[in-house]
Structure 1
Amino acid sequence: MSTNLQSSPICKLLLLFILQCIITTTTVAQAPAPAPSGPTNITKILEKAGQFTTLIRLFKLTQVGDQINTQLNNSNQGMTVFAPTDNAFSALKSGTLNSLSDQQKVQLLQFHVLPQYLTTSQFQTISNPLRTQAGDSASNKFPLNITSSGNQVNVTTGVMDTTVSNTLYTDGSLAVYQVDQVLLPMSMFGPQSPAPAPAPAKKKKSGADDDTPATDDSSPSADASGAVGFGGHVRGLIVGSVGVILFIALICL
């Protein structure tokens, strides 16, 4: 009886239906989720590339990452980012980042961002120094010089030199290039200007005034005290003489 059930068309259709359900369920479970679509996000790009945890942390701490994303998604100008690796930050002198103020950390990260989209081939024709998001490109401020020779792109700040070691991302609007050293701007890491010399001390005028002892204004001068004493004696004599004369006159009368 079991043989008849297995060979019946109804059983075969039922078995085929169950098998098809199992295959469909397995296929759906194994299918990867579609990549999330949305605006360009520098943090997600660096997370996907790996070895940029320090840069990501600084982008979040200073909100420079948000500034990059906002500008990318609200402008057609494009941007170029030089991304130092974790090893690049580890190679800095101990305590370097902690010694920077919040404003200096922002400027340091902005120094790694160009407000224009540049391909590696365009590096051959650009005019130096390039202006970064940090601002003033004067020689003692935030100058960034890029030269290209063959397949090698050199980056110079006046404090350090490095090369672009890899292209992490490019989409016609944003270019992200890996660098193996942190780009250090002149204004924060260059030689410090010498402190101005102190003003010379004022010299005392030479002359008799220097040796003249101070005069106590509260005490009367010798001439004044003498005049006062002499006048008092004279008045006393006059008053006394007048009194004697009046006394003699009364007696005589």
Structure 2
Amino acid sequence: MKPLIPTLLLLLLHHIHFSTSQSPSQPPTPSGPTNVTAILEKAGQYTTFIRLMKSTQVADQINTQLNNSQSNGLTLFAPTDNAFSSLPAGTMNSLTDQQKVALIQFHVLPTFMSVAAFQTASNPLRTQAGNANNGQYPLNVTTDGNRAVNVTTGVVNATVSNTVYSDGQLAVYGLDKVLLPLAIFGPASAAPAPAPSGGGKGSKPSSSASGDTSADGSGDASDSGVRDGKGLAMVGVLIWWLVRMI
């Protein structure tokens, strides 16, 4: 019986090896839908921008659009954490929720654009914040001989520091500054000058109100002349009447 034990073990091991080799291989795990915040999280240094994208729900809008078969792709300008920390203190806290949404949407182009496409782009570019032609959300890009991309808003000038991600449908470019749109951060229009208060302390009455026709009192002189003329006329009439009575 003992001589059979090694043989049985060999047969058992052979059976296990044969079964394992014949088992079908597991298919590769399919890649999930595009997630823009996951891309930025993997890249690092975009914590503030990610938080704003999530709080404004712009991240959800982007992911939904990217996973739509009819999408023309998207281009995202992502300011780094250093770009946000360079803003004046309290800048983001001073914005309303609606302005924060517009600010993040201002960093999104509704089409995929490669670095080479920026060289022939027609300015101003349209963003998801609104129409660029009305002067509120203009976004202009220029490139130099080294294919460096500069982005201007009318408020700030930013530079694309690197390409974070690009797959032909989504392009993510890192920025050294936050893109501030004119509609939110542009100079306020000048306030109209206040109307002069009437009758205030120390105010000088107008000549019409005082009855004067000139500053030197010529109006009073003319009035007295009229009164003297009327008096002479009455005296003449009285003398003429007395002569007739004699």
SS in 1 for 2:209: coil
Amino acid in the other structure paired with 2:7: P
Deviation at 1:199, TM superposition (A): 2.2
| 1:197 CA displacement | 1.1
The number of residue pairs the alignment matches comes to: 198
Residues in 1 aligned to 2:13 and 2:89: alpha-carbon distance in whole angstroms: 70
Code of the aligned partner of 1:10:
L
* Residue identity matched to 1:66: D
C-alpha distance in structure 2 between counterparts of 1:186 and 1:57, whole Å: 23
Matched, 1:148 2:143: yes
3-state DSSP class of the match of 1:188?
Answer: helix
Residue 181 of structure 1: aligned partner: 177
Aligned positions of 1:113-192 closer than 5 A? 113-138=108-133, 141-149=136-144, 150-192=146-188
Percent same amino acid among aligned pairs? Answer: 57
Q: How far apart, in 1, do the equivalents of 2:31 and 2:168 lie?
A: 20
How far is 1:58 from its partner? 0.8
- Tell me, in whole angstroms, the C-alpha distance in 2 between the residues paired with 1:164 and 1:17: 61
Equivalent position of 1:64 in the other structure: 58
Amino acid at match of 1:170: S
CA–CA separation in structure 2 for the residues paired with 1:95 and 1:16: 72
Report whether the alignment pairs 1:10 with 2:27: no
Matched, 1:80 2:83: no
Task: Out of 55-64 and 183-192, give the one that drifted further.
Answer: 183-192
**1:31-90 alpha-carbon deviations (Å, 9 max, x no partner):** 9x825423x222222222222221111111111111222233333322111011222212
Q: Give the Cα separation in 2 of the matches to 1:70 and 1:200.
A: 57
Match of 2:99 among 104, 116, 120: 104
Q: Which runs of 5+ in 2 are unaligned?
A: 200-204, 212-246
Q: In the alignment, what sits opposite 1:92?
A: 87
What is the rounded CA distance, in whole Å, between the counterparts of 1:144 and 1:91 in structure 2? 20
- Answering whether residue 46 of structure 2 is matched by residue 43 of structure 1, we say no
1:207 deviates by 4.2
* Counterpart-to-counterpart distance in 2, 1:37 and 1:182: 30
Kept in 2: contact 1:139–1:186 (CA 8 A): no
Partners of 1:11 and 1:79 lie apart in 2 by 62
DSSP-derived class of the 1:155 partner: strand
* Residue 10 of structure 1: how far off its partner (Å): 1.7
Q: Which residue of 2 aligns with 1:230?
A: none
How high is the TM-score relative to the length of structure 1? 0.67
2:239 corresponds in structure 1 to none
The AA in structure 1 aligned to 2:169 is S
Number of the residue aligned with 1:55: 49
Letter in 2 for 1:97: M
Q: Which amino acid aligns with 1:63?
A: Q
Q: Aligned partner of 2:11: which letter? A: L
SS at match of 1:206: helix
CA shift for structure 1 position 190: 2.8
Q: TM-score, normalised by structure 2?
A: 0.69
Query: What residue identity is the alignment partner of 1:48?
Result: K
Read off the aligned partner of 1:34 and give its amino acid letter.
T
What code does the residue aligned with 1:121 have? A
Q: 1:166, 1:177 within 8 Å by CA — same for their partners in 2?
A: yes
Deviations 1:200-246 (A, max 9, x none): 335776047xxxxxxxxxxxxxxxxxxxxxxxxxxxxxxxxxxxxxx
RMSD: 2.9
Which stretch shows the higher mean deviation, 133-142 or 168-177?
A: 133-142
* C-alpha distance in 2 between matches for 1:140 and 1:192: 14
